[in-house]
Structure formats: structure tokens, C-alpha cells
Structure 1
Amino acid sequence: MSFTEQNIEQLVAQHYNLIVKAKTLNGYDEQNFLLTDESGGQFIGKISTDAHDYHFLEAQIKILDHLSQSGIANKFQQVIPNRTAQSLTAITLNGNQYYLRILNFLHGNFWVEEQQHSNELQVDLGIFLGKMDSALAGFFHPSINRYYEWDIRNALDARKDLHYIKDHEKRRIADYFLLQFEMEVLPKLPSLRTAVIHNDANDYNVLVSGNSIVGLIDFGDMVFSQVINNVAIACTYAMLDKENPVMVAANVVKGYHHENPLTETEIEVLYYLICARLCISVTKSAYNASLQSDNQHHFITERPAWDLLFKLIKTNPVLVENELRIACGYTPIIKQDDDYATLLKERKELIGRNLSISYKKKLKIIKGAFQYLYDDKGRTYIDCVNNVSHVGHCHPTVVKAMQQQIATLNTNTRYLNDNLTNYAKMLCATLPPSLNVCFFTNSGSEANDLAIRMSRHFTKQKDVIVLDHAYHGTSTVAMELSPYKFDGKGGFGQPPHIHKAQNPDLYRGEYRYEDKDAGAQYAKSVQQLIEKLEKEDKAPAAFICETLLGVGGQIPLPENYLEEVYKYVRSAGGVCIADEVQVGFGRVGEKFWGFELQNVVPDMVVLGKPIGNGHPLAAVVTTTEIAEAFNNGMEYFNTFGGNPVSMTTGIAVLTTIQSEEMQQHALETGNYLMAGLSSLKEKHPIIGDVRGYGLFVGAELIRNKETLEPAVPEIDEIVEKMKERGFLLSTDGPLYNVLKIKPPMVFNHDNADALVRNLDEVLVEMNLNEGKNQEC
């Protein structure tokens, strides 16, 4: 039953001898009324159903009585007794039990009503909470030791409502922070201080006047829990809609620590507790929306809560902990002067020296979240180049699937396991029907090696045609397939059985964008190699190429190129291999696989990198005919290729790509990014070409539009300057003058805007338009 204002006026007169006018107020699950008597005095009336435990209502009265003995008694409401001197008035209507309470009215403005929250006010909020929690240290009531969904220690229960969040990006961010709660907070909960806490110092419960806290209302969420949760909740709501939320949290913590000192462990987990509280809030809002709730209070913080979560995912947790430690007078954890000399020395001694390290000023990355990477100095970087973490660093769906499987079983494929066949079915369903047999390996290099081995079994030939500047991996065979390596510094030269076809580069190659027949013209290079082999009584075992060229310069293949090449190769008895290691799984946006952009069906597809989101997993998928030819009596065995953990990982990655509609996202975001980069091309002559599909993008930098002289070392300086601004980029191409942009698939419009804006600023800063070497 909903009580009307007239109902309440009658009940108050009957039980309290008060003549009042009632006005309905918002409430989460109780009905609240503002009561004004004849003299202008004001009270708050609260009515609860029998769904509200009587003993818990009694506990709320007891805690107010307890706080009335504290030094901040005037900042809490007191209960007005009824005509029989009772604090709770039981009301029975139509067989249902209700409880009426009347409390005095506290004057002040709600936190949410204040336009500005000064540093002093934020600190005073912490001081007030610290005094309250100190006063409550000896208080206990049995009914407060309860399960409550808004208790942060129960944050993981919010997972059951994640599916109500329909926006993919929002859902995965909430899921990520709940995973971090599980990993970073849950193991430490038993070591954290516990007590009865208010548990809801939100912006509609905190009363302020000027720079001071003058009151806190509503103990309906109180619970026996970790003390630091009370701080986390207050910080959460104080941080809403703030330009610098970390500073706000530091101010609150500074005040709190002054009155009720926090331990270092409590400070360590506070960032994750704040995020967990926000996750509880947004999942509850999503659930209530699914019920079509019309209670405004159910959604009152939904928008600012999401805004804050988006800010916090971009905020390095090390930075937050460091600022909170400083606020409490603890030693900072960030060592800005650390140049990693010791670590670099150990790496040099213990690790092969030809394993390179990116950037002049080295990075120590300690944590990842989707498209963001966090270093040990508190900085956040947008990862614009790591196509291995295809669905994002530490994607919770993938992480949880791997955790569960590795805690259950991991073994080789000599035993039956459903994961192996289930994943093979899923994978083949994304490919043309003729590609229906899978071989699983541990890396793309190993998969390319296996594909060549299978092609040689099938054709009884050895020679392989590759593209100039191609790169296919690090195994011995894969290195033999890679002109990028064997023609490069320290390379062993071109093996006699490997043949290089022209790199079909429409920007600086023999045939360019304006040539409508460029694809067919470049394909003739492959035909000529086949004709040369025929004169030597040989034929190609295989033609292998990436379906967009990565190391070759981030180059999309010309129209009709593969269609023509595959005809030549197949007519000579060879096998056509599509290397999708960097290209596949929806990255190109328009299609799921790169070869589909060329309207061809290869005889083999090689998969790696994104297939396991960084887990060592790769595959060769081929036709029944080729697979049967390979089954010649010699067993193919790969100890951990196709193991249960790898297969579970593959299933999780593919499911995530499909359920989160990442291919469409790559198309839309990629087009948006390409448009932004193309606008820079019009402004900055150093950008000679912008090309790609989806989130496989390259920008070629030049010094001269006529000669196409590569802008090296300018590009290296640009990459370093972008890194200092928080963007991780890399270079590619035979001349090392192509900006490589292949971010995780969760890279969004805001990231694209920021990347383009900062690149523009760097180019202006470097004044390359009028530099000595610029002749554009």
C-alpha cells in the first residue's frame, strides 16, 4: 500500500498529537514525508512495511541514541516518541503491518544541491566520517550483522545483474571492475577492520552549510562491514561530476585519516572499493530499468556513476593509491627518479640481447584494462598498437573462462575433451564451408610452419612464393618465408626455394591508386615466378600472404589481387594460404576475415595473435582433401596445441567478439579514425598516405610528395612524443616510416579523437610543415 499525504497527516495526529501538513519526498524503498506543524516546525516521517525487519528498525533508533552521546550529536536526527513514549509506531491496515517513525528535521543543503564543493568541504566530510566511525567503534546490534546487497563486501553478487546492462562497453567495464574486486580486494577483506558503518553517505544523505558538514541522515543501509567501505562510499559520491575525482578522494581521505587513521592496506584497496560501489549502483539501475521501475530514486545517480567509471578506467590505480598515501602522510609508492637501471642490467645479463625494448625512455607496464595500460609511475597509456589483445587487455569474460578451466583441467589432446571439438565447430562456422578441418598450435609462427609443411605433403613440391617485405614468424621455416627478416640486418639471405613477388603497394609501388588494373598487374609478378619455376621443372607448393600486409607497411591489397593470384597458383597445382594472424577475427570491420575483402576462398587459413587474446594459441584451418593428404601415417602431435585451457580461451574470445558486436564496432570506429587521420593529411604534408580497413590502419610519413622520401627519423620522434602524451604507437613498413595503428578492438571514438588531436598537436609542435627537410 502507498500512503497518501492525507493518510500520514491523520496517523501523525492520532499517534503523536501533532497537526501537520505532509509532503511526499523521494525514497529508495521506504515512503518519506516532510511534516510541517502549525508553528512552522518540521519533521521527517518514515513509513515501512513488514518487509522491513522490526529489529532492524529498532537498531536504527539505537544507533541514533548511541550517537547522541558523541561529540557530533547535533549532526544526526533524533527520534520523536509517540504519545505512548514509543519510538516505533506499529500500524495494521488490511491485515498488513507498517511502522511509522518521526524524526526531527536537520537544516542544511544536501551535498547534491551545492554547486561547488570546496577542498575544505571535502576534507570536512572526511573529518566528520572519521569522528562518526570512531564514535561507533563500540556499538553493535545483532540485526546489523546481516547480508545486504549494497554492502561493498558483497560486490561480486552484482555479477548476476550485469546482463541487464545492454551497452557492451559499459557492461564490460563493470565486469572488469568486479573482477578487480575479486582479485585485489577479496583476499584482503579478512585483514581489514570491521565495525557498524552508516554505509550510505551519498550526496542525498549528507547535509552541508558553507564549507562544513552539518548532518547525515538515513541509517537504513547500515551494516556490520569493513570500516574502509564507509570511506569508499563517501568518496564515491563526493567524486561524482568532478573534473579531478582523485583529488576529491584524497581530500576526503585526508580528513578521515586525521580522525580515524587508515591502515596502508585500507588505502591500497580503496580505489577498487570505490569502483565496486559504482558497479553495484549501475547494475542495480539496469536491473530496475528491466522492471520498468518508475521510481526516480532508482536511477538518480546512474548517469554520473557511469561518467565516473569511465574516468576511473582511464586512471592508473597506482596513481590513486599514491595520492591517497600522500594524503595520509605515508611514503609514496611512485618513484619518479627510478630509471630501471637495475632491471635493465639484469635483463641484459639474463635475456638475449636482441630482444628489443620499445621507446628511448623505457616503460614498465604493470597492469592493463582493455585499451588502457598502466605503468608503475602512475601514468595511463592508450594502447594503439597491441592487436594481440584483440578483445582488450584482461577482458573479464576471457580471464574468468581461463581461470575456471585451468583450475579444473589442463592436459594434452590424447584424451577426449569437448572443448576441442566445440571450439573447432565455432571456428569453422565463421569460415567458408570448404575450410572445415582444424590443427591447433601454440603460435602463429608454428601455424605458418605447419601450413607450409602440409602444403608440401599435398603438392609434393617444396618452393613457396611470398611477397617482398613479408613477415610470417620466428620459427626456422617462418623465417625462411620472411623477406623482412632474411633480407634485413643480420639476415641469412633469400633461400633458393623461396621466391619473392612484388609487394602490391598502391602508394609507392609500380602500380598506384589511380591504376584500376593495379591488382591484376601486381598479380602478374606471381605468374612470372610460376613460369620461371616451370622452366626448372618445378611448381609452387604454396603461395602465402597476409590478407592485409602488416610489416610490409599496413597495406590493403589492391582489388582483385588475390583472385588473380589464386588462379595462377592453383593452375600450377599450388596451395593458397591466407595468413590471418594479424588481420582476422573482425578487425577489418567490413568482413570477419581479411581474405573476404578479396572475394576469395583460400585452401588454408593461418590464425594466431588475436585468437587467444594473448594466450599462446594459433591454428591452421584447411580443406578435408589437404588434411587427408597430410594424414600419411606419420602422427601429427602437438603436446599442448588444442589443450582444454587454450580451447576454452578460444571459445571465450570468439564468443566475446560476437556477443559484443566487435566487428561492427571496428568498422564504425575504424572509419571514424581514418576520417580523422585523413583530415590531418590535408593539414600536414608529412602524412603522405592514410590507409587500412577497420582497426587495421597505417599512416605513411614522407618528406617529399614527389620523391616519397621517408620521414625518418621524424617518425621516431613523433612516436616518442606521442608516448609522452599517453599513446603507444609503433612504426612499420620496409622503410620504417609507417605509423602502425592496430589497437585492441575496444578502442573507441573518444580514443580516436584523442589520438588525432594529440598527433595534430605534436606535428604542429615539431613544425614539420616548414622544417629543413620538408619540401612538400
Structure 2
Amino acid sequence: MPNSDFLAQPSLPRPEVGPDDAGAVAERVFGLSGRITELGSNQDRNFLVDTGAERFVLKIANPVFSLDELHAQNAALERLAGIDVRIPTVVPALDGAEVAPVEVRGRTLNARVLSFLDGEPLTEVARPSREQLRTLGHLSGRIAAGLSGLRHAGLARTTQWDARIGGDVVELLADHVPQPAKRLAVQRAAERALSALAPLRNRLRVQAVHGDVTDDNIVLGDDGPGVIDFGDVADGWLVAELAATVTSALHHVPDDPLAVLDVIEAFHEESPLDDVDLAALWPLVVLRGAVLVVSGEQQVALDGDNAYADENRAHEWVAFDIARRLPAVEVEAVVRARLAAGREQHGAPSLGRLIAIDSTDQNLADLSVTGHALDAGRWTRPDAEDAVLGTICRTFGHALTRYGEARLSRAVLDRSDASATIALGVTLDAPSGLVVHAPFGGELRLTDGSWLLHGDGLDLWLDGLSRPLTTASVERGDAIGSAVRLTAQLSRIPGRRPPAFVTPALPAAVWAGVSPDPSSLFGIDLAVEDADAAAALSRREASFARVQEHYFAEPPLIERGWRHHLFDTRAQSYLDMVNNVTQIGHAHPRLVDAVRDQWARLNTNSRFHYEELSRFTERLAEVAPEGLDTVFLVNSGSEAVDLALRLAQVHTARRTILAVTEAYHGWTVGADAVSSSLGDNPRALETRPDWVELIASPNIFHGRHRGAGSAPAYLAELDEQLARLDAAGTGIAGFIAEPVFGNAGGLMLPDGYLAGVYERVRSRGGVCIADEVQVGYGRLGHYFWGSAQQGVVPDVITVAKAMGNGHPLGAVITRREIAESFAAEGSFFSSAGGSPVSSVVGLTVLDVMRDERLQQNAATVGDHLATRLRALGQRHPLVGAVHGLGLYLGVELVRDRETLEPATAEAALICERMLQEGAIVQPTGDGKNVLKIKPPLCITRESADRFVDALDLVLATI
């Protein structure tokens, strides 16, 4: 029988063998009897045989494996018997055979028995200590070294764990991953890994390897650690042995993946890695993770009762996900620096000056997220950095970039991975030219187009150096050439240049040990201290009332916005999917210029007379529904709602306001009184004042009556409630509701509902208030006002948020006679409402919306986004429904589509995971289970697609 070839026979269901079968085989063939317990295995059947005096492992092999392959496993055990590692020993059958054919259920299978190694599997240690991680690496390296000389016919096999065919395995088994987004992530990561491995494949060392020295197969006992399960022994790449070990460790240290450096270093001490091995290691870790994911899905599909394979899927995905998110070039650099630091070497040389030119802070370019040199979107231009350096040079003669700075100019929009933004080198721009000196003695040579000054314990890489000396050996202070633009980078990796820019995936302290701060070369402090988001959060909580909550458990430090993107201090971009406050997008240049210009001239209160006020209120009256011609200007939505309630009560000379449950209207006393959202206030229903009459929320998804046609049922209930109020002599001052339930996640009202309520309220002399703070002002795309979707015209509209694009600005728009009723309580005044700056902000927002056709964009992109989000419901049972219209949408997450149990915990976890994917989304609703999706109206179709792709992957892997 030939050796197995996984690519020829990829389906390997375990043979049908139960505990009773195993017990019979153990006693009949091996003379062992006792308690039989099945052990986990992907493709074989393994059983623990406990005789009472001793314990053994009965292994019944998958019939696809040849006798040579099984004998090769025994040969590996024999080969390793002399090394300082506990390994099983072979227990022969009664006839002396090490591999015995047995009959099980009419089928001939091959059986072996090995001694059982006592100890706790490392896989059961939630967080291994550093010593345990080093033990894992030492064992893997020791096994690799011990097997290096083994030759056996059974080693010439092709298993699914052979890294040499990893790409083929992923391609062959990818369709077993049921979720397309998860499958695509695996395929793309595997493709990147294979691309990196392509030039290395023929240079990697091949030998006998265990293939699975992992946490599953390491046992920690009183007699020391041991290695079990040699079922994957075969010829393979030496470094793939380490890759398998590292991959198994990753899921134990998800918050500190660099902990695996201990594994790598320990392996290297036992089985030294060469230059090619180090280049291949992390791509092989990613590839191993991809193979684990697809193989686990295949095995569960083939062998549905394989609890071992099923349970492993979760941590296999975690390991793969960690590996794919760490850039291979960065990990390689850190690994090389760690191993280089372990070699015997002299301390780094003292550094002299690279250039004899003095600099001050005026010569330093600020390319960070918080600097102003790249305002107004200038950071998006290809020549952004050159332009900033050029400006400084024209004024101050020369310019320098900074070390460790996260450059906004390197940020990537709509990213799926972390962006390499942090500079490890420094560039000097000196148009007049300057002489470059050697800061330390060493060998100067041209390497890959750059000049390398190789010193004792430290390297210096230089770009832009011209006319260097012909001699290779230089002394400290020697002139080595000249430059107009010079980039310098220090390195502690002998002969290897670290990446010029790195992601924030690894701590700044790590990079300081790989590519040190070159400030001393230039005679000025060039290092940028990494902003501490955690420290900033502690300061916030020390002085800012904690009930003013923040997004995310560990929020990024957001310091810039641009259009529908936000940026943290590490220049990582995030899709802003929650900011209906920022209607026209962050940092819109027209708005910035208009505010700057107005503030330079005048900002006061509306009791003074200035033209911007009338211009703005005229425009608001123009865009308001027919008949609403009078405007009050205030500074927030809460203030607008409060004023609208007072207008209704004063105009009608009554107090009672009808408000729907599940609603949120604001935090002032009046606005809070009509807010009944349990998500915002768990005691809302029991703490309403006596002048608020709550009526049932017409929730078409999980209300008492459901569906778009449920309005008559809700109106019938309202009729009963109004009849009781009429009988009690309670007059209605007004009714307030959002025309689309924003707080519930963009839930549309049943058809005809508002028309029916308005008719009933007006027939009793009441005022109808539409709270359009969240859902109006063009956000619905197909309608400027939410009330228009219901075919009604309210008596009063409240609006804020979008009006000011983040500036505190709100309005109440009503009819003249209602507005003038307020005179009965005196005049009205809002200090900031209607100020010159506020008026200019409001006018500019309306101008930009018109000129950039943002309402039309909300309709087009919103419809596309809603279609794609609804498609997620076909693949993910957690998606119960998609609510809303235009760019006010909500994805309601439920644990059961029949009971509609809110998936509250899952929603919170999804939001945290989406942050990792570069998108900001948050939950809303009484159950905090509706993802509210309300981005700036300038969002593009491409960004919408990126958001849905990210959500698809998170839902597939939660």
C-alpha cells in the first residue's frame, strides 16, 4: 500500500470504532483490559486503556495510512528515546508486532499501543507562563534536532499539515468554510503568505519533523514535560515545525502575541534557524493557521460527532486571526532583533553627529494627526510630505521629520488591516546640500540601493548619500559623502534593514530595541512620544462625570476627522458609522473657512442685529414643510424639544403631552419627561411626571402588533386611551414622536400611523410635534423631513445635530400663531442660539448639502447599504431585521427569530470587534441590540461596502 497523499484523498473521516470495539482489540491483540475512554483525534481513533495498574493509549489508524507510515512513527519514537524529553514507548502486541492488523466491524484496521504520558495538556493552561512558553519552544526545537538524521520510507508522505502543500490544502478545503466572509479572509491571508514564501521555498531545509509539537500534544507532569501523538511525522520544512508550535501558542496570548518570541528563541537554542528560516517563519504561521481553519471545518462536516475537532475551531480561528493581523515584515524584524540580542556582541558604539548643522523646533515637520500642516485634506495628496518639508526649507533653510511619529500622510482609508504609519527613520531636507559624516566607525557598503554603515552592535542605513568614499572602512567623524535629502535609520539587526514604517500592532518600546531613536545623529530631539490612550481615559474619568459614557472598553484616542472617517493618534483610520451629528462630514473646508472668517469678525447673541441671522432663518423656512414659517434658534436638540413642549402647553393652555414608549428626546427636564427609552433610563416608565401620557410604541418589529399594516390596531388602542382621558376631562396639549424611531435603530412607523394620531390630537385642539433631531434634515435620502415619509405636516418641528455639523445648534420651526403664543410667558432668548457663528454654520451646512447633493447621496448609498445589510440576514441568524431608510439604518440582532430575544451581549462584542476592523458602530434600542448606522451623508459606496464586508466577517466569527 502506498503512503498517503492528502491531495489525492482529502476526505479522512475517522474509522467507525467505539469503546467496546477498542476494549476487545486491546484485550485480544495486546492483552490489556480495563476501563476504556476515547481520546480526541482528528482522523484516527485513540482510546485510553486504564488497567488499574498502568495506562496505555490504543491507536487505531485511519485506513488511508500505510504500514510504512505507522512504522515511521515508531522509528521516530525510537530515534528520540535518548533525548531529554518524555515520549511514549511502543508496547508490542502479544505476537510481538509493533503494528497489528485488527478486525473491527468487518473492516481490517491497523492498531498500535503506546505508553501513556501522565500530565496536564498545555492546551488546558489558559495563560501559559513565560517558562511554559519557553518549554514549548525547547521541546519543539529538541524534537526537530533529534529527528534531523532520521530516514524512513514512511516519511515520504503528504499530509494536510505539510506546509509545502499548505496553499493546496487551503484551496482544496476552503469551500468547507460555510461563511463567505470568513472563507475570503482565510484565502486572502493564505495568498499573502504564499507570495512571501515563493522566493524561499527551494532554499528551506527539509528533514523529518514531528509536525504537531503543539499545546495539544505537550503534557506537563511531575517528571517533566512530554510530547505525545507522533501521527503527523513526515518529511517537511524544518522551520514549519516551529511555525506549528508558534501557531498553537497564539490563542493563549491574544493580547500579547509577542509572547511567542520566547517560543521562537527557545526553539532556536535547540535547533538554530538560518536566514531563510527567519524570512519564512511568520508567513508559515499564517499559512498554518489558515490550514487549521479550513481543516477544522472540513473535519466537522465529515465527522459531525467529532467533538474534539468541533471544540478546536474557536481557538484555531483566534490563532489564525492574530497571525494574519501582524505584518510578517514587522514580526520578522522583531524576531531577528531578539535573536541577535541573544548572541555575544559588544555594546552599541557611542554615536557622533551625522551632520554639522544645528536645528531648532522650527526645522521639525509635524506630519502627525494633531498637526495643522496637513489640514483641509492636504494629507491625501501624494506629495503631502514633500510639500510640508519644502515650506519649512523655504523659511528656515532645512527641515527634519520626526522619529516614531505616526504620520497622517501615511493613513489608509477604508482599511481592512492596520496601516503602517509610524516612522522608524528620519529624513533631512537641505536644498543647499551638506556634508555627511560617519557617526561611528565601521564598514560602509552599498546594499540593495542604500548605504549601510555596519558597526559593532549597530547599523546605520542611509538613503540619498552621494559621492561616498571608495574605501569600505571608515572611522568616526570621517566625511562619507554629501546629500540634499538624506534618510537615516538605525538598526540592531546585523545587515538587515527594519521596515521604514510600521503599524501600531507592536509597542513602541519594541521598535526602540529594533530601530533606535537617531536623534543624537542630528543633535536635536526628534522622538515623538506615543500618545497614551489609557492615561488620557484615566484623566477623563478623574474630572468628567462618568455617567457621560464613552464608546468602547478601550477607546482609541481620536484626534482628527475627515469626511466620514475618524483618525486616532496612531494615524489609524476608522469608518464613522454613527455620526449623524456630523451631517456634511468632518473638517469640511468650506465650513472651517466660514467659521474662521465669521469668528474673526463677530460673534455675539441674537439680541443684536446682524444679517446672518435672517439669512439663516429664511433658509430654514424655505426647507420647512408648507405652513411652517417661523423659527426659534437654540443650541441643542434637548433645548429644542423642551421649547416645543412649552409652546404646545402655552398655545393650548393645557399640560398633558402624549408621548410614545421606547422613545428618547433629550436630557433637559422637559425633554427627559417625554423620554421613555429603557436603554437610556431603566426606570423611565416608573418615573414619568403626571403631565406625560405614554402610549404604546407602534413597533412593527416586536410590538404588540407587527408589520407595516399594523397602524389600525395601534390607533384602535389609542382611541380607547383617549376616550378614558376625555371622560376624565383631561385636555391634550400635544403629541410628540419621532417620525422614524431613531432610538430604536431607524424603525419605520406603520403606514398611516402619524396621520391617524395627528387627526385625533388636532380634533382635540392639541399640537403635533415631530422630533426630527435625529432622522430629519435629508438623512432619509428620499425625504428631507421624516414626517414627509408618513405624508403628514406637523405643527412643530424640532431639529438639531445635523444643522450644526457638530456645532451646538438647534431649531424649532412652527407656525406664526403658535410661536407668538409664547408671548404669554414673556420673551424667549437662547444665548448661543442664532449667534453669528451659529447662523453661518447653519447656512454653510445647507449650502454644502445642496451643492454636493448630499441628500441624493443618502438615498443612493443608503439604498445600496440597506440591500447589502439585509443580505447578511440570509447568512447570519443573529440578524433579525434591518430597519430604516436612507442613511438612518439599524441592524437588529436577536438570539432567536421567533422569540426576538435581544442579542445584547453579542451586539456589544460585535461593536468591539468592528473597531478592530476599522469601523465605529454602536448599539441602541431598549435592548441595546440594534446597531445604529447613521454616518455622515458624504459616505461613499466603497466605504459602505467596506463596512458591510467587515460586519459580515465579524458576524461569521463571533
Q: TM-score when scaled to structure 1?
A: 0.59
Match 1:520 to one of 703, 708, 712: 712
Task: Tell me which moved more, 677-686 or 519-528.
Answer: 519-528
1:176 aligned residue (356, 373, 376): 376
Amino acid of the residue matched to residue 672 of structure 2?
M
Distance 2:410 2:601 in 1: 43
Q: CA RMSD in A?
A: 4.3
**Is residue 463 of structure 1 aligned with residue 463 of structure 2?**
no
2:579 equivalent to 1:369: no
Which of the numbers 885, 894, 897 marks the counterpart of 1:702? 894
CA spacing shift, 1:246–1:584, aligned 2, 3 Å: closer
Shift, 1:519, TM fit: 2.2
CA offset digits 1:739-758 (Å, max 9, x no partner): 11011111111111111111
Q: In the alignment, does 2:793 pair up with 1:601?
A: yes
Aligned to 1:685: 877
CA shift, 1:554, in A, is 2.3
User: CA 1:355/1:260 → structure 2, altered by over 3 Å: closer, same or farther?
Assistant: farther
Quote how far apart the aligned CAs of 1:318 are: 11
1:345 to 1:432, Cα distance in 2 relative to 1, 3 A: closer
Query: SS of 2:377's equivalent?
Result: helix
User: Does the CA contact (< 8 Å) of 1:604 and 1:623 recur in 2?
Assistant: yes
Report the CA distance between 1:335 and its aligned residue: 3.0
Structure 1 counterpart SS, 2:820: helix
Give the Cα–Cα distance (whole angstroms) in 2 for the partners of residues 339 and 433 of structure 1. 49
Paired positions, count: 508
The superposition leaves residues 126-179 of structure 1 with CA deviations (integer Å, 9 ceiling, x where unpaired) of: xxxxxxxx99x9xxxxxxxxxxxxxxx9xxxxxxxxxxxxxxxxxxxx993259
> Once the 2 structures are TM-superposed, how far is the Cα of residue 715 of structure 1 from its aligned partner?
1.1
- Give the aligned partner of residue 533 of structure 1: 725
The answer to whether the 8 Å contact 1:530/1:540 transfers is: no
What is the aligned counterpart of 2:804 among 604, 609, 612? 612
User: Partner amino acid for 2:881?
Assistant: D
**SS at 1:403 equivalent:** helix
Residue 946 of structure 2 corresponds to 754
CA distance in 1 between counterparts of 2:408 and 2:376 reads 18
Q: Which amino acid aligns with 1:698?
A: G
Deviation of 1:398 after TM superposition, in Å, equals 1.1
How far off is 1:487 after superposition? 8.5
Please report how far the alpha carbon of residue 367 of structure 1 lies from its aligned counterpart in structure 2 after TM superposition: 1.0
* Higher RCO (CA-CA < 8 Å; seq separation 6+): 1
Aligned equivalent of 1:508: 702
For 1:214-233, what aligned pairs fall within 5 Å after superposition? Answer: none
1:568 aligns with 2:749: no
The answer (yes or no) to whether the contact 1:530–1:569 under 8 Å persists in 2 is no
- Any residues of structure 2 matched to 1:53-452 within 5 Å, and which? 176-177=376-377, 192-194=392-394, 329-330=518-519, 333=528, 335=530, 338=532, 340-341=534-535, 343-452=536-645
**Displacement after TM superposition at 1:624 (Å):** 1.3
Q: Matches of 1:527 and 1:245 in 2, distance apart? A: 57
Whether the 8 Å CA contact 1:612–1:646 is kept in 2: the answer is: yes
Structure 1 residues 607, 378: CA separation in 2 closer, same or farther (over 3 Å shift)? same
| Structure 1 unmatched runs, 5+ | 1-133, 138-152, 154-173, 196-224, 263-314, 767-776
What SS is found at the alignment partner of 1:428?
helix
**For residue 632 of structure 2, what is the amino acid of its counterpart?**
F
Separation in structure 1 between the aligned mates of residue 595 and residue 895 of structure 2, nearest angstrom: 48
**1:664-703: CA deviations, max 9, x gaps?**
0000000111111111111111101012100000011111
Hey, what's the Cα distance between the residues in 1 that align with 2:410 and 2:795?
60
Supply the distance in 1 between the matched residues of 2:696 and 2:422 (Cα, whole angstroms): 59
Hey, what does 2:750 align to over in structure 1? 558
Q: Name 1:651's counterpart in structure 2.
A: 843
Identity of aligned residues (%): 34
Secondary structure of 1:758's match?
A: helix
SS at match of 1:496: coil
**Residue number in structure 1 paired with 2:816:** 624
Is residue 326–residue 332 contact of structure 1 (8 Å, CA) maintained in 2? no
| 1: CA distance, partners of 2:830 / 2:533 | 42
Alpha-carbon distance, 1:328 to partner: 7.8
Asked if structure 1 preserves the Cα contact closer than 8 Å seen for 2:410 and 2:571, the reply is no
Unpaired segments of 5 or more residues in structure 2?
A: 1-354, 359-364, 366-373, 437-500, 520-525
- The answer (yes or no) to whether the contact 2:400–2:427 under 8 Å persists in 1 is no
Q: Residue type matched to 1:392 in 2?
A: G
In 2 relative to 1, CA 327–180 (structure 1 residues): closer, same or farther, beyond 3 Å? farther
Note if contact 1:499-1:529 (Cα within 8 Å) is conserved in structure 2. Answer: no
Give the conservation status (yes or no) of the 8 Å contact 2:420–2:504.
no
With 491-500 and 567-576 compared, the bigger mean Cα shift is at: 491-500
User: How far does residue 528 in structure 1 lie from its aligned partner after superposition?
Assistant: 3.1
1:245 deviation in Å? 14
Cα distance change, pair 643–357 in 1 and its aligned pair in 2 (3 A):
same
Letter in 2 for 1:649: V
Match of 2:921 among 725, 729, 746: 729
2:902 partner letter? P
Distance across 2 between alignment mates of 1:419 and 1:237: 37
> How does the TM-score come out when normalised to structure 2?
0.48
The DSSP-based 3-state class of the residue aligned with 1:544 is strand
Following superposition, the deviation at residue 349 of structure 1 comes to 2.9
SS in 2 for 1:683: coil
Contact 2:797 2:814 in 1 (8 A): yes
Q: 2: CA distance between counterparts of 1:255 and 1:188? A: 12
- How big is the shift at 1:251? 9.8
- C-alpha deviation, 1:377, in angstroms: 2.8
For residues 613-640 of structure 1, what are the alpha-carbon distances to aligned partners after superposition, in whole Å with 9 as ceiling and x for unaligned? 0101100000012112222361112222
- Separation in 1 of the partners of 2:516 and 2:824? 70
Aligned partners of 1:479 and 1:628: how far apart in 2? 25
- Larger helix percent: 1
Tell me, yes or no, if the aligned pair for 1:334 and 1:377 is still in contact at 8 Å.
no
Give the direction of change, closer, same or farther, for the CA distance of 1:397–1:430 in structure 2 (3 Å limit).
same
1:498 is the counterpart of 2:687: no
Match of 2:676 among 483, 486, 498: 483
What is the distance in 1 between the residues matched to 2:435 and 2:699?
65
Deviation at 1:552, TM superposition (A): 2.8
Distance 2:530 2:645 in 1: 49
Report which of the two structures shows the higher radius of gyration computed on alpha carbons. 2
Shift in Å, 1:476? 0.5
Distance 1:237 1:686, change over 3 A: closer
Sort the Cα spacing of 1:351 and 1:406 in 2 relative to 1 into closer, same or farther, 3 A: same
Paired letter, 1:508? H
Map of 1:275 onto structure 2: none
Matched letter for residue 552 of structure 2: Y
Moved more, 527-536 or 669-678: 527-536
Give the residue type in structure 2 aligned to 1:176.
Answer: A
C-alpha deviation, 1:494, in angstroms = 2.0
What whole-Å deviation, never above 9, does each CA across 1:371-419 have from its counterpart, x for those lacking one? 1111123321111001101111111111111111111101111221111
Q: Is the 8 A contact 1:426 1:651 kept in 2?
A: yes
Partner-residue secondary structure (3-state), 1:381: strand
The match for 2:734 is: 542
Q: Which amino acid aligns with 1:329?
A: P
DSSP 3-state at the match of 1:688: strand
For 2:916 and 2:411, the matched residues in 1 are separated by 27
Shift in alpha-carbon separation, 1:247–1:594, aligned structure 2, 3 A: closer
Q: Distance in 2 between matches of 1:477 and 1:239?
A: 44
For structure 1, which segment, 366-375 or 492-501, has the greater mean C-alpha deviation from structure 2 after superposition?
492-501
